[in-house]
Chain A
Amino acid sequence: GAGVSQSPRYKVAKRGQDVALRCDPISGHVSLFWYQQALGQGPEFLTYFQNEAQLDKSGLPSDRFFAERPEGSVSTLKIQRTQQEDSAVYLCASSLPGLGSDTQYFGPGTRLTVL
C-alpha cells in the first residue's frame, strides 16, 4: 500500500518568507507526528496529532511554527518568517493508535533550505 508522502520534497526560501509543508499519512493511521532533522543529527520531535486534535506541540521551536490537521488526515506544517536556523529536513510520520510501542512510518521528508 501507499506509504507516507510529503510535498514538496525540496524547498528553498528566502529569509523572512513563509513556507507550508504537507504530509499525507498512511490511510487509517490515527496518529501523525512531525520531526525536524538537522544535518548530522537524529530527528527531533516537533508535534503530535491524534486524528484532528493536536495533543502535543511542545517540540515546536518558536511561535513561528504552526501545524494543523483539520480533517484528521492530511497535515500541514507552516513556518512563518523563516530564519536560516530553520534549515533542516522536516519528517512526517504516522502510526496506528499511537502507543509508544507502535511502529512509526516516516515519509521521505521535505528538505528546507533558508537563504
Chain B
Amino acid sequence: RKEVEQDPGPFNVPEGATVAFNCTYSNSASQSFFWYRQDCRKEPKLLMSVYSSGNEDGRFTAQLNRASQYISLLIRDSKLSDSATYLCVVNWGDYKLSFGAGTTVTVRA
C-alpha cells in the first residue's frame, strides 16, 4: 500500500466551477502536509502548506483531518490557469517528502 494515495482524476470542470479532491495517508505519525502543483513537463512547486485548523490562500482552501488521515484541497472559481496536476505531500517529521501520484485537474473554457 502506498504511503500517500490520491484519486488520479482527471477532474474536468468548466471555468468558474468549484472542484475538490482528497488524499489519504497511511502513517498516523505524519507531521507536515503540503499541496504541490506540477504543470505538464515542469517541476513541482509548493502551492500551500496544510495546517490542522485548515487554511485558505485566495481561491484555494486546504483541510486536514488527522483522525481520518486525509487532506483535502478545494479550488473555487476555477481558472484556466488552474489546470495542472496537484500532488499531495506528507512529511513524517524528518527531511523526506512522500508524494502521492497526483490528481489531474483540467479547467475548460
Proximity string of chain A (1-44) to chain B, C-beta cutoff 8 Å, 1 when within and 0 when not: 00000000000000000000000000000010101000011111
- How close is B75's CB to chain A, nearest CB, in angstroms? 19
In the complex the two chains form, is A101's CB within 8 Å of B101's CB?
A: no
In the complex the two chains form, is B98's CB within 8 Å of A106's CB?
A: no
Is A66's beta carbon under 8 Å from chain B? no
In the complex the two chains form, is B96's CB within 8 Å of A42's CB?
A: no
Closest to B91 in A: A100
- How close is B6's CB to chain A, nearest CB, in angstroms? 8
User: Which residues of chain A from 43 to 69 have any CB-CB distance to chain B below 8 Å in the complex?
Assistant: 43-45, 48, 55-56
Which residues from chain A sit less than 8 Å from chain B, CB to CB?
31, 33, 35, 40-45, 48, 55-56, 91, 98-101, 103-104, 106-109
